Amino acid sequence: MQFPPPYESAVDRAIREAAERGAFDNLPGKGKPLPQLDEDELGWVRRWLDREGVSSEMLLPTPVQLRKEIDRLPQTLAALKRESDVRDAVSELNRRIAEHIRYPSGPRIPVRLVDAERAVAQWRQGREAQLPPPAAPVPEPPASAPAPRRRRRWWWWRGR
């Protein structure tokens, strides 16, 4: 006869009693290795990132994240339509860079503020390259042609 330990929680007691009854004897996968144990130590992190839809870039230190964002800035700005949106995006990035400069974290990697005027100028050059050439001007009708009649609206005739 086996004596229970001096203190046994309700959960431990329920597990012990189930094991004594044989509830765990014929479970599927008994005697087989646990799945995904052949991966490296960080395999669970990759699975979690995939499952949650989070970019692995979020695991990088802050200065590396900011440098990557600065490198991708021309592509990010190319998708924007208005100059005010471009300036807002650059000022938001500069705000986060300034915050990192004030309160640094992670490795000491230099991160500089983005020149807003230069970014806007590059955005303008990219927009001008993407715009189609201007259409040919529409020819004016010859002077001998009669002027088109203007249609009167019905409310002009209501009071008459």
Query: What pLDDT is stored for residue 90 in this prediction?
Result: 96
Both tokens of 70, joined, read 């600065």
pLDDT-above-90 percentage for the chain:
49
29-66 confidence digits (pLDDT tens):
888 877 766 667 788 888 889 999 988 888 899 999 99
Q: Calculate mean pLDDT across residues 136-156.
A: 67
Annotate the chain with three-state secondary structure.
Answer: CCCCCCCCCHHHHHHHHHHHHCCCCCCCCCCCCCCCCCCCCCHHHHHHHHHHCCCHHHHCCHHHHHHHHHHCHHHHHHCCCCHHHHHHHHHHHHHHHHHHHHCCCCCCCCCCCCCHHHHHHHHHHHHHHHCCCCCCCCCCCCCCCCCCCCCCCHHHHHCC
Q: pLDDT tier at 109 (50, 70, 90 boundaries)?
A: very high
CA distances for 89 relative to 58, 94, 112, angstroms: 19, 9, 16
Please give the residue that has the higher pLDDT: either 17 or 147. Answer: 17
Query: What pLDDT is stored for residue 154 in this prediction?
Result: 62
Q: What are the structural domain ranges in the chain? A: 60-130
Residue 132 has pLDDT above 90, yes or no: no
Residue 160 has pLDDT above 90, yes or no: no
Query: What pLDDT is stored for residue 68 in this prediction?
Result: 95
- Angstrom distance (rounded) from CA 117 to CA 105: 28
Average pLDDT in the chain: 84
